[in-house]
């Protein structure tokens, strides 16, 4: 199987974020990491390759720093990488990103494209799905398991409330992978060293500019959430308080 | 039941040959790697027939990303950087040149400004930097020079063959809480290196292994340490200028403790402030994180920070035993650089420039060794000679007795410091003796129950959530993260001592000196004194204080799974 994995570099989950001057995104002087679901997508692709043979190619769009994500993927066992390298890719919406990817891989023949379920920063959960539409391929989301069959693949999707759905799909297809589907491997010293000599194709913005068009979605303004604190006393007999409390937790705070 | 990290036996480990293995990617290790790359490039340019390869030279860095475990004030004395990369100022991330400096002596609510700034604390010509950002940049130079930096890999053990260091083993990845291999277990590599350069920072774990193995500290003074606790603040504009430097002495410490504070103005209204408490205080209940909180409550500091926001926290030990505490720094197959060796000027409170310089000198020696293909102590001992003949020795010799002078308190210390200033560093004796700091800790029975004059420094800080913070709130701001399912990397060699002796004799000081709430004594009716020791290793900020300061010396800090630890962005 020839598999493409779409990966994204995102700010580290616990990084202290500051807004940029125009208030439209964060300042980029933070630490970055691989988008978590993408790491699972990569791991799943590597496992499929180990079982069925083939090739794993990783792709990302972002400034030079985003290359780190590709290096890590190559170190873990991906065969080659494609980097759509430009600062401008940071601000693209899901539609534009998917179109950029589609343009960058138009000369390749993949059997399967895996993406993470969604990104930790924008959280669109759309790039993979739109990419499937652009390629006119079937897709399935929130994948928990992939099994190769004679006709294509059988996948397990996570639904709500502990339910799963099993779907038989033809290939080629796009899957968006849920975190936790597998156990991530570690990069090894030899892997990191070998990654230095693996092919990494750079694609300039100009190459895909025409395909991208203009953003359909843009961030007008971001706000730091205002912290507020409110204390409310529940009164009455214990049984009644318990009832009120459950009601609040379930319907107001929605943690139950 | 506590299970400690231990390398699994009888497993096959991947092997990898290395010409040079540098353990630790801080200022010393990175400067060493960069200097070595420069020398090899120069050599190769003029010797087309005898080319040296950079292919098998590696830097191991336990942080997930370069610079993430680097914490310092920090002021950079540019001397060594100008030698390493002339004109580095043009591209290095520097916050501001030092523009203004002052030293204050604080009392509980007042302050006296020293009429003149003592010469060692004059900082014009230096830069306020974030060591994290600086090392990130230096690391990018190293990588651009064609050197390989393995981030997320710690040096876990030294490989030895008789009296020779033959390499370094990296950390085992994928061990669970019971020290058993998980599905994704990756054994550490045996990096078979011709020379291992230890650049682990303060109290390096491999350095400790080496010093113990060869008894390297036997003719030296014991190393003494301080613990620096730091917070980064964003304050309303106009409070402090970028490049403004303030040092304080006195409050909240009393004359029994050694230490002081720094406040540096960085760019974008960010203030770096921190308190270094000497790890030789007498009261085991003293809590250095609390010392910083008390310091901030002083009106002078509180006013500076009012309306601001704490954005980052961290802590780290630093070695300030000085020249006489530096162990032999080279032998068969090994060299030690930077804070691991103890290259820190305790009087100026600066070590970055010395770390860089020592790394460069080790690189020059490693380069000679590569050319000769001789990595025995005969060749590597050129490194200590180079240090002897460099300005490192000149600078450290002048302050060789500085910290020891303070062994009997602040007032005597000032007296000795004064005499040393006029005798080229000698003072009253050629070599002042030193006691290891942990040995100066007094048992509880010799101390007043309420702490007496130290009562404001003992026990955990409560914190008001605005100006002062409890330890867990502070810790949250260190960005510390570890794989949870792994064995404890704080190895307590005998937990019986914790539960039967330490708890009654010293009141379990691990809970106090650890700036990250790693150690806890939990109620347990089965334990001899009603409490058992418990560890939260995931909280560890890798400061090494426990390894240094525990009064029974039964704690060994070993690196956890590589990639874990604090995230000192901007620190």
- Does B334 reach chain A within 8 Å, measured CB to CB? no
Residue B66 CA to residue B483 CA, distance in Å, equals: 19
As a whole-number percent, the residues of chain B with pLDDT over 90 amount to 88
| Residue B405 confidence (pLDDT) above 90 | no
pLDDT digits (tens, 9 = 90+) for B240-283: 999 999 999 999 999 899 999 999 999 989 999 999 999 999 99
Q: Give the pLDDT score at B81.
A: 98
- Residues near B389 by beta carbon (within 8 Å), at least 6 away in sequence: none
Name the residue among B173, B191, B477 with its Cβ closest to that of A186.
Answer: B173
Residues 177-216 of A with CB under 8 A from B: 183-190, 192-193, 196
pLDDT digits (tens, 9 = 90+) for A160-195: 888 999 999 999 999 999 999 999 999 999 999 999
In A, minimum Cα distance to B146 occurs at A196
Beta bridge partners, A128, equal none
Q: Give the pLDDT score at A161.
A: 86
Given the candidates 1.10.10.10, 3.40.50.720, 3.40.50.300, 3.30.9.90, the CATH classification of the domain at B94-130+223-319 is 3.30.9.90
Q: Count of CB contacts below 8 A, A vs B?
A: 49
Q: Give the pLDDT score at B430.
A: 75
- Residues near B222 by beta carbon (within 8 Å), at least 6 away in sequence: B321, B325, B434, B435, B436
Q: Which of A27, A188, A191, A196 to mutate to test the interface with B (most CBs of B within 10 A)?
A: A188
Residues 163-222 of B with CB under 8 A from A: 170, 173-174, 182-184, 186, 189, 191
The pair of three-digit structure tokens given for residue B376, joined into one six-digit string:
């025995």
- Predicted confidence band of residue A63 (pLDDT cuts 50, 70, 90): very high
Domain that holds residue A68: 2-212
As a whole-number percent, the residues of chain B with pLDDT over 70 amount to 100
Name the residue among A29, A33, A189 with its Cβ closest to that of B189.
Answer: A189
Q: Give the pLDDT score at B504.
A: 96
- Predicted confidence band of residue B498 (pLDDT cuts 50, 70, 90): very high
What does the pLDDT average to over B152-168?
97
In a domain, A217, yes or no: no
Q: Give the pLDDT score at A199.
A: 97
What does the pLDDT average to over A130-144?
97
Q: Euclidean distance between the first and final Cα of chain B, in Å?
A: 36
Beta strands in B162-189 (DSSP E): 164-170, 173-175, 181-186
Name the residue among B14, B477, B569 with its Cβ closest to that of A190.
Answer: B14
**Number of domains into which chain A is organized:** 1
What does the pLDDT average to over B29-55?
96
| Residue B310 confidence (pLDDT) above 90 | yes
In a domain, A149, yes or no: yes
Q: Give the pLDDT score at A217.
A: 86
In a domain, A16, yes or no: yes
Chain centroid offset of residue A256 CA: 27
pLDDT digits (tens, 9 = 90+) for B1-16: 799 999 998 899 999 9
Q: Euclidean distance between the first and final Cα of chain A, in Å?
A: 43
Quickly count: other Cβ atoms within 10 Å of residue A5's Cβ: 27
CATH number for the domain whose boundaries are B444-557:
3.30.70.20
Strand A173-177, strand A139-148: pairing: parallel
Q: Give the pLDDT score at B407.
A: 74
| Residue B401 confidence (pLDDT) above 90 | no
State the nearest Cα–Cα gap between B152 and chain A, in angstroms.
Answer: 9
pLDDT digits (tens, 9 = 90+) for B417-463: 777 877 777 777 777 778 889 999 999 999 999 999 999 999 899 99
Q: What is the CATH number of the domain that holds A171?
A: 3.40.50.620
Q: Give the pLDDT score at B276.
A: 96
- Tell me what ipTM this predicted complex has: 0.86
In a domain, A56, yes or no: yes
State the nearest Cα–Cα gap between B173 and chain A, in angstroms.
Answer: 7
Beta bridge partners, B157, equal B169
Domains of chain B, residue spans: 15-73+135-222+323-397, 94-130+223-319, 404-437, 444-557
Q: Give the pLDDT score at A254.
A: 83
In a domain, A231, yes or no: no
Given an 8 Å threshold on Cβ–Cβ distance, is B170 in contact with A189? yes
Name the residue among B65, B152, B184 with its Cβ closest to that of A31.
Answer: B65
The pair of three-digit structure tokens given for residue B254, joined into one six-digit string:
């009393």
State the nearest Cα–Cα gap between B184 and chain A, in angstroms.
Answer: 5
Q: Give the pLDDT score at A224.
A: 83
Q: Give the pLDDT score at B409.
A: 72
Rounded to two decimals, what is the model's pTM?
A: 0.93
In a domain, A17, yes or no: yes
CATH number for the domain whose boundaries are B15-73+135-222+323-397:
3.50.50.60
Given an 8 Å threshold on Cβ–Cβ distance, is B173 in contact with A193? no
- Predicted confidence band of residue B484 (pLDDT cuts 50, 70, 90): very high
3-state secondary structure of B419: helix
Helix then strand then coil, in percent of chain A rounded to 5, is 35, 25, 40
What does the pLDDT average to over B492-520?
97
CB B179 within 8 A of CB B558: no
State the nearest Cα–Cα gap between A237 and chain B, in angstroms.
Answer: 33
């Amino acid at each position: 199987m020839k598999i493409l994995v779409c990966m994204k570099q995102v700010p580290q989950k616990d990084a202290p974020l500051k807004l940029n001057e125009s208030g439209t995104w964060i300042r980029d002087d933070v630490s970055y990491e691989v988008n978590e679901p993408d790491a699972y997508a990569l791991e799943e692709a590597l496992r499929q390759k180990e079982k069925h043979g083939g090739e794993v190619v990783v792709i990302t769009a972002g400034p030079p720093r985003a290359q780190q994500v590709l290096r890590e993927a190559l170190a873990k066992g991906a065969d080659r990488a494609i980097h759509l390298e430009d600062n401008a890719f940071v601000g693209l919406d899901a539609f534009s990103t998917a179109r950029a990817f589609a343009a960058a891989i138009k000369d390749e023949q993949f059997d399967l494209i895996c993406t993470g379920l969604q990104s930790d920063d924008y959280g669109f959960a759309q790039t993979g799905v739109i990419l499937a539409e652009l390629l006119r391929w079937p897709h399935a989301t929130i994948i928990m398991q992939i099994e190769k069959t004679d006709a294509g693949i059988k996948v397990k999707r996570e639904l709500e409330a502990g339910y799963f759905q099993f779907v038989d799909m033809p290939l080629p297809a796009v899957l968006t992978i849920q975190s936790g589907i597998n156990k991530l491997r570690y990069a090894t010293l030899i892997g990191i060293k070998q990654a230095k000599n693996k092919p990494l194709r750079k694609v300039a913005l100009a190459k895909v500019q025409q395909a991208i068009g203009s953003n359909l979605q843009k961030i007008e303004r971001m706000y730091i959430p205002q912290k507020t604190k409110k204390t409310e006393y529940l009164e009455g007999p214990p049984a009644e308080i318990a009832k009120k409390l459950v009601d609040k937790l379930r319907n107001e705070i929605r943690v139950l | 039941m506590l299970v400690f990290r231990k390398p699994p036996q009888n497993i096959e480990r991947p092997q990898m040959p290395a010409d040079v293995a540098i353990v630790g990617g801080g200022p010393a290790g990175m400067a060493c790697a960069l200097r070595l790359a420069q020398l090899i490039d120069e050599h190769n340019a003029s010797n087309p027939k005898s080319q040296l390869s950079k292919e098998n030279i590696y830097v191991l860095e336990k942080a997930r990303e370069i610079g993430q475990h680097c914490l310092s004030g920090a002021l950079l004395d540019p001397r060594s950087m100008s030698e390493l990369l002339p004109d580095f100022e043009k591209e290095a991330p520097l916050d501001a040149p030092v523009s203004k400096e002052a030293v204050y002596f604080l009392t509980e609510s007042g302050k006296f400004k020293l009429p003149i700034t003592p010469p060692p604390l004059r900082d014009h010509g230096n830069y306020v930097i974030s060591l994290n950002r600086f090392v990130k940049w230096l690391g990018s130079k190293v990588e651009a020079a064609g050197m390989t930096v393995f981030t997320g890999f710690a040096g876990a053990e030294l490989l030895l063959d008789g009296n020779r260091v033959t390499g370094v083993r990296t950390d085992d990845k994928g061990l669970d809480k019971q020290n058993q291999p998980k599905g994704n277990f990756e054994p550490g590599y045996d990096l078979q290196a011709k020379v291992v350069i230890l650049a682990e920072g303060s109290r390096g774990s491999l350095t400790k292994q080496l010093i113990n193995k060869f008894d390297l500290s036997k003719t030296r003074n014991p190393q003494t340490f301080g613990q620096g606790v730091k917070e980064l603040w964003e304050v309303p504009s106009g409070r402090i200028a970028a490049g403004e430097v303030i040092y304080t002495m006195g409050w909240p410490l009393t004359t029994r403790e050694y230490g002081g504070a720094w406040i540096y103005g960085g760019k974008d209204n960010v203030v770096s402030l921190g308190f270094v408490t000497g790890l030789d205080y007498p009261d085991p209940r003293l809590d250095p994180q609390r010392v910083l909180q008390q310091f901030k409550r002083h009106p002078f500091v509180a006013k500076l920070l009012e309306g601001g926001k704490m954005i980052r926290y961290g802590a780290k030990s630093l070695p300030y035993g000085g020249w006489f505490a530096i162990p032999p720094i080279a032998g068969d197959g090994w060299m030690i650089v930077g804070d691991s060796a103890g290259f820190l000027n305790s009087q100026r409170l600066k070590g970055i420039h010395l770390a860089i310089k020592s790394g460069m000198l080790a690189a020059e020696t490693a380069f000679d060794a590569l050319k000769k293909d001789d990595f025995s102590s005969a060749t590597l001992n050129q490194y200590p000679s180079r240090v002897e003949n460099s300005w490192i020795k000149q600078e450290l010799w002048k302050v060789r007795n500085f910290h020891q002078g303070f062994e009997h308190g602040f007032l005597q210390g000032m007296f000795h410091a004064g005499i040393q200033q006029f005798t080229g560093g000698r003072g009253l004796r050629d070599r002042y003796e030193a006691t290891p700091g942990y040995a100066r800790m007094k048992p509880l029975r010799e101390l007043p129950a309420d702490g007496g004059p130290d009562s404001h420094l003992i026990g955990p800080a409560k914190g008001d959530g605005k100006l002062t913070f409890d330890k867990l709130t502070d810790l949250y701001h260190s960005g510390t993260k570890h794989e949870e399912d792994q064995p404890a990397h704080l190895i307590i060699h005998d937990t019986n001592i914790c539960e039967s002796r330490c708890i009654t004799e010293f009141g379990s000081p691990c809970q106090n000196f650890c700036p990250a709430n790693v150690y806890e004594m939990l109620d347990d009716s089965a334990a001899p004194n009603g409490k058992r020791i418990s560890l939260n290793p995931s909280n560890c900020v890798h400061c090494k204080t426990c390894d240094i300061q525990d009064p029974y010396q039964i704690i060994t800090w070993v690196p956890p799974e590589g990639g874990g630890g604090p995230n000192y962005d901007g620190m």
